[in-house]
Every structure is written in structure tokens, then in C-alpha cells.
Amino acid sequence: MVDGESRRIRFHDYAEIYKIPGMYEKLFADMLECTSPDVVAGLLADAVDAAGQDMASVRVLDFGAGNGMVAEALAAKGVTTIVGVDLLPEARAAAMRDRPGLYGDYIAGDVTALDVEQHDSIVEAQLNCLTCVAALGFDDVPPAAFAAAFNYVVSSGWCAFNLRDRYVDEPSAFSRLLDRMIAEGVLVDASHVRYHHRLAVSGEPLEYDAVIARKTRDIPESWIG
């Protein structure tokens, strides 16, 4: 019910969900107990601390940023510079509406096809960490888009994302890319933690892996078909 009117909104229709203040949080965080923004931000903070670095020095590109729940969790851990990217203008609008001031910049668009101004603003931000939470593995983010976002982060930066267990355990376009990134040293020091991401609508827990790693170099263009 929205303002006394009954509406049918599909579960993954994020554009419609973001338009209604509080609906994403009610659905995913409250009803389905999604923990991922806090889990991934917490594991990243632990890894940064273990490396003797300060979260205030971590400058994040939050890819698939949605309405800012990951930015909020990162800010709670001490991150002060966050640039958001999401395909949907509704995600950007919701983040500006619900969490103003968290993002230094937030670009709504396809990361593989940014205009010159958008491209330059990300490069100039000298970002040293990619976060991508609850966005990989469902063919929404093609490997080329992940690679483009990853390659905006400086080498020696951090990478923190999550992935449903079956996309780690079974071959998929993204799992093949991830395996290759680790095998060929594009990602090093990768730690995997399996945890309850959220409940499915059936009430069953959904298991995800959180992956925290260091970037050594860009994903070569030749790897992306």
C-alpha cells in the first residue's frame, strides 16, 4: 500500500522500489534481514586495519551503489570519500534524498560508457577501493562493467564485494573472471568469508561469500570478450 493505494511492484524492480522512501530498507534490511552492507564494510575495515592503514585513507568507488546503504556502512567505519555509480537514475535520486552528503559524487549511468566529464571526475578522485555489494552474479553486471569499475581504482587499492555461494562454487561468467584475476595475480591476498546475506522470500537463509582483496593491476582489455 502506497498512500492508501495498492500497487504491485516486482521484487527486483529497483527503480520502482527506490522511488518509495524507506521501501528498500523495509523489504531487504527489515523483513529479509539483509546484513551485507555492514558485513562487507566491517570485513573491509578489519583488513584495512590489519594492513596498518586507516579507513580515512580509503577512497571508495561504490559500484551498484543503490540508495546508499553501503556508503552509510562505510562512513560508520570511518570512510570519508565515496563516489557512487549505479545504472539507475532512481538509485542516485534515492541516495541524494535519503542519505544526502554521503557521496562526494554519484554517477547514474553505464560505467562502460561514461561521458568525458564523468570519466574525468572518477579519475581525478584517485579512488583506491572498489566496493560492490549485492549486485554481482545475476547477469545484471556483465564482466565488462565490473572490469571497467575495477579499472577505475588505482593499483594497490582494495576490492570488497560479495557473491552468492552458487556463483562462487559453480562456473559462471563472473566466477571465471574472478578465478582468473586471482590466478594471474590481478587480485592478491583475497579472503573469502561465507555468511548469511539475507533470507529468501521463502524464509530460507541465502549464503554469500564476502571477498576482500588487494588490486595489483588493471584487468586487461583482452580478458573481456
Piece in contact with ligand SAM (CB under 6 A), picked from 128-136, 166-174, 183-191, 199-207: 128-136
| Alpha-carbon distance values, 108 to 98, 140, 169 (Å) | 16, 15, 32
* Binding to ligand SAM in span 143-162, by CB under 6 A: 145
216 versus 224: smaller Cβ distance to ligand SAM: 224
List 115's β-bridge partners, or say none. none
28 versus 157: smaller Cβ distance to ligand SAM: 28
Smallest CA-to-CA distance from 158 within 122, 220, 212 is with 212
| Alpha-carbon distance values, 78 to 44, 86, 87, 109 (Å) | 11, 22, 26, 27
Task: Measure the CA angle with vertex 91, ends 68 and 195; round to 5°.
Answer: 50
CA distance 116 to 140: 24
82 versus 85: smaller Cβ distance to ligand SAM: 85
Piece in contact with ligand SAM (CB under 6 A), picked from 75-83, 127-135, 167-175, 194-202: 127-135
Question: Contact between 163 and ligand SAM (CB under 6 A)?
Answer: no
The pair phi, psi for residue 171, each rounded to 5°, is: -65, 135
Three-state DSSP class for residue 39: helix
CB of 216 to ligand SAM, least distance (A): 24
Question: Contact between 33 and ligand SAM (CB under 6 A)?
Answer: no
37 versus 157: smaller Cβ distance to ligand SAM: 37
170: left (phi over 0), alpha (psi -120 to 50) or beta: beta
Piece in contact with ligand SAM (CB under 6 A), picked from 139-147, 165-173, 200-208, 215-223: 139-147
- The single residue among 39, 59, 61, 64 that binds ligand SAM, judged by CB under 6 A, is 64
Count, residues near ligand SAM per rule CB under 6 A: 20
CA distance 38 to 40: 6
CB of 153 to ligand SAM, least distance (A): 15
The DSSP bridge pattern shows strands 59-63 and 205-215 to be unpaired
Q: Which residue is nearest to ligand SAM (CB)?
A: 66
* Binding to ligand SAM in span 83-102, by CB under 6 A: 85-88, 91
N residues, the chain: 225
Binding site for ligand SAM (CB under 6 A): 14, 36-37, 64-66, 69-70, 85-88, 91, 111, 133-135, 140-141, 145
